[in-house]
Amino acid sequence: MVPGAMANPSASDNRELAMMSEEKGKSVLESAQAVGVQMLAFNQQLATLAFKQIFSTSMAMMRIASSRTEKESSDRQVKLVLDTMSNTVDAAAKLSDSSARVAKVAMKPVHKRVKANVRRLSKRK
């Protein structure tokens, strides 16, 4: 459809506009469904990461509490801090990857329909 056709659309142009509107609606629904599925997985991953961090921190705190010497306690505290920092960086990377995956999945139905529209409309010229 050419831009000038919008001033006085033909029956063919009207059919094309109706089809594109319907496709947009379907794309939004497919995208929302895909995002919902990804968010379920994302939330499970987030809960798993939180549980692992809570568990490892609790174990480290128990090791600190059961230290027999100041040196042992100090070494275990240093290890706790280093492990916490490392785990936080790893968790942030995993969450970032998951966020990117959600965005990719959300755009897939839209991208598919846009490509189909481009192919179909380029044949009409």
pLDDT for 1: 47
Q: What backbone phi and psi angles, to 5 degrees, belong to 66?
A: -95, 10
Q: What is the pLDDT of residues 29-73, one digit of tens each?
A: 999 999 999 999 889 989 998 999 999 999 999 999 999 999 999
Query: Nearest 10 degrees: CA dihedral of 57, 60, 61, 65?
Result: 170
CA distances to 45, 105, 114, 122 from 54, rounded to whole Å, are 14, 30, 45, 56
**Banded pLDDT at 113 (limits 50, 70, 90):** confident
pLDDT of 99 reads: 86
- In tens, the pLDDT along 73-90 reads 999 999 999 999 998 888
Q: From CA 89, how far away is CA 85, in angstroms rounded?
A: 6
Q: In degrees to the nearest 10, what's the CA dihedral of 53, 54, 55, 60?
A: 90
Whether the pLDDT of residue 6 is over 80: the answer is: no
pLDDT of residue 11: 85
